[in-house]
Amino acid sequence: MIASISVVILLPFAAAFAGMLLGPRLSDRLRPRRPAGEAAETQAAAVPGGGPRATGPAWWRAALAAERSPLRNGPALIACLPVAVAAVLAAVAAFAVWRAPGTRTGTLTLIETGSAPVEVGLRVDGLSAVVGLMVCCVALAVQVYSVAYMAKDPRYSSYAAFISLFTAAMLLVVYAADLLLLYVGWEVMGICSYFLIGHHWENRANSRAAVKAFLITRLGDVGFLFGVFALGLGARSFEIGEVLARAGTLPDATVTAAALLLLAGVAGKSAQFPLHTWLPDAMAGPTPISALIHAATMVAAGVYVVARVYGVFLEAPAALTLLGLLAVISMLGSALAALAQDDIKRVLAYSTISQLAVMAAGLAVGAWNGAVFHLLTHGAFKALLFLAAGCVIMTAGSNMLRHYGGLRTGMPLTFWSMTVGLAALVGVPPTSGWFSKDAVIEAALHTAGHGGDLAPAIPGAPTAHIPAGAAWLVYAGLLLTVAVTAAYAARLWLMTFFGEPRGRYEVREAPKAMSWTVAALAVPSAVLGFFGLGADELRPHLGSAVPALVLAAAGAGAAYYVWNRDPAVDPARALGPVRDLFARAFRVDDLYAAAVVRPVRALARRVVTVDGRGVDAAVVGAARGARELAEPLRLPQNGNPQTYLTGLIAGIVLLTAGAVILL
């Protein structure tokens, strides 16, 4: 099995390099001839929503041509086929683990460091098997979808190659048996996200968004790396199994410090408060990238790492408590921000922050199975929602909800698929999100009702305790988030698909490569929850399900009531004076600009001034003094041979005269 998992990681890795080296050449050789007059269209303004630089009609023609003749798209073949094979192998591995539960490990080599050795090896268990399968499936869906969506993009080959490299890096994080090997994949994902978010770098806003995402996540990664060092050196091994086995023997201060440092990286990668501000701006990237990064891969990596080394966090109750408090702020604050956004992709971006916080809250209250299950269901329905949003953007030519309306009649496949995705997001039974979210809420209620004692999350894991007040706060935050989530999901649904059309465009279904991919993702979004019925903690419980459903109905009903009074007006108007505050996400970015950006810029200007007037002035002054001192010495060196000869003769005469006189 370890050999097949190695192939799963190597296939997208090889596809990335093949795409970089061969993609452009294959595009030129296999691409059909461009129709007359199309070259002028490709120079038009950029399509909203991170689309290629083309007019709407040219974009549609290119997408239809790409799906009708896939064999003519060399980069698409390089991108899609390896990921498809990797998905099949990951499914076989997941099935084998399901049939015979247990942990399989394999070591390629052991690197001795003089202290804790570094093991280059893989680890396959129930957690890594299902998450790896989810990553492969979502990556395959994004690659297939992108064949049509990015057909007009002149840099499609590099785009597809970076997606493949991104996929390989995430799979390395999932299957790594060593924390340092995991960190390698963790950082490769970071650099790939930089290139993908800034794919359309010719737009200054896009490149700034990429830099912002890179810098903020790197800030968290500094703490993450030191946390890895603390665990590895404390346990005398970076191998995950050894770290978990020895976590209980480490000093409390070491475990707590390591867990808190790891949380810094988790907050950065999974966009949790206070390192969450990069993710909404990352919507500058192409829409399929939003589905990949914000559904199943990069942002899920932080939650996955906490679940991977959960035994360490159970030994550090302070870290679990902090995780729960940050999750409450993130889930409720982001849900309120989503309620006031006009950009459909930013609504889904803030929704992603909120749902990741639900997973973090589940881990904080001991719902390990529920949090992991919600990670899986979220990967399905959030990928569905982002890709469906791409279909809407291609049709309407805009990201803005105020430009939509009445799309359900002309886009039935997208409408029903997105309806399933939004229902799963809210937690409407019997969609997948209902099962997973209810498991987290039930665990929060159990922990709060038992004075903060966490239920045993994993067989053989140590018991843990968090303050009862923190547990009740997590439970209340989850319920309030359900209500707000239902409100913004209903607002998005109503403004997009109902009422009168508010834009000048032809309402039609997206190309099949896009719409059928969205429909395929609707299936797991609808039925994935039933696969958890075999575990008692993943079955719906009346005590937690009823309050959540009542609040969800109240939130959706309030949004419908406001919208129904005037379908042509945004229901967010009911927020009144706080709408601007919510739309700007409580002005956290403004706070960072005032507290960090402006002081750093002011300091940089002072450094430049000191450097120019002090350091540079001293260097330039020394050079000027040397030149002035050397100027008299340069007078004889005028380049005239007669002057040199005259000086030579005069010198000889003086020496001769001196010798005669003195001797």
Question: Using one digit for the tens of pLDDT, what is the confidence trace for 513-553?
Answer: 899 999 999 999 999 999 888 888 888 888 888 999 999 99
What's residue 457's pLDDT? Answer: 65
| Window from 18-22, 60-64, 90-94, 100-104 with minimum mean pLDDT | 60-64
Is a pLDDT exceeding 80 seen at residue 74? no
Most confidently modeled range among 113-122, 366-375, 503-512 = 366-375
Q: What is the spatial distance between Cα 460 and Cα 478, in angstroms, rounded to a whole number?
A: 28
Give the pLDDT band of residue 65 (cuts 50, 70, 90): low
What's residue 524's pLDDT? Answer: 94
Tokens 């005269």, residue located: 657
Buried b (16+ CB within 10 A) or exposed e, 187-200: bbbbebbbbbbbbb
Give the pLDDT band of residue 41 (cuts 50, 70, 90): very low
What's residue 66's pLDDT? Answer: 67
Q: In the numeric block, which tokens belong to residue 524?
A: 């797991």
Q: What is the spatial distance between Cα 578 and Cα 562, in angstroms, rounded to a whole number?
A: 16
- What residue type is assigned to position 203 of the chain? N
Give, for 185, the enclosing helix (H) or strand (E).
helix 179-197
What's residue 56's pLDDT? Answer: 60
What's residue 48's pLDDT? Answer: 47
Is a pLDDT exceeding 80 seen at residue 296? no
Spacing of C-alpha 5 from chain mean position: 23
Give the pLDDT band of residue 36 (cuts 50, 70, 90): very low
Averaged pLDDT score across all residues of the chain: 87
Q: What is the mean pLDDT of residues 254-261?
A: 94
Q: pTM here?
A: 0.88
496 with 344: CB under 8 angstroms? yes
Give the pLDDT band of residue 618 (cuts 50, 70, 90): confident
Is a pLDDT exceeding 70 seen at residue 221? yes
- What residue type is assigned to position 632 of the chain? P
Buried b (16+ CB within 10 A) or exposed e, 217-234: bbebbebbbbbbbbbbeb
What's residue 440's pLDDT? Answer: 94
Q: What is the mean pLDDT of residues 605-627?
A: 82
DSSP designation for 176: B
Is a pLDDT exceeding 60 seen at residue 42? no
What's residue 597's pLDDT? Answer: 87
Give the pLDDT band of residue 54 (cuts 50, 70, 90): very low
Give the pLDDT band of residue 344 (cuts 50, 70, 90): very high
* Number of residues that make up the chain: 663
Is a pLDDT exceeding 50 seen at residue 158? yes
What's residue 47's pLDDT? Answer: 45
Q: What is the mean pLDDT of residues 436-448?
A: 93
Q: What is the spatial distance between Cα 529 and Cα 429, in angstroms, rounded to a whole number?
A: 9
What's residue 68's pLDDT? Answer: 65
- Cα–Cα distances in angstroms (integers) from residue 602 to residues 177, 216, 544, 590, 594, in the given order: 45, 20, 52, 16, 11
Answer positive or negative: Cα dihedral of 226, 230, 233, 235: negative
The Cβ of residue 274 has, within 10 Å, a number of other Cβ atoms equal to 15
Q: What is the mean pLDDT of residues 134-143?
A: 93
Q: What is the mean pLDDT of residues 60-64?
A: 69
Is a pLDDT exceeding 70 seen at residue 431? yes
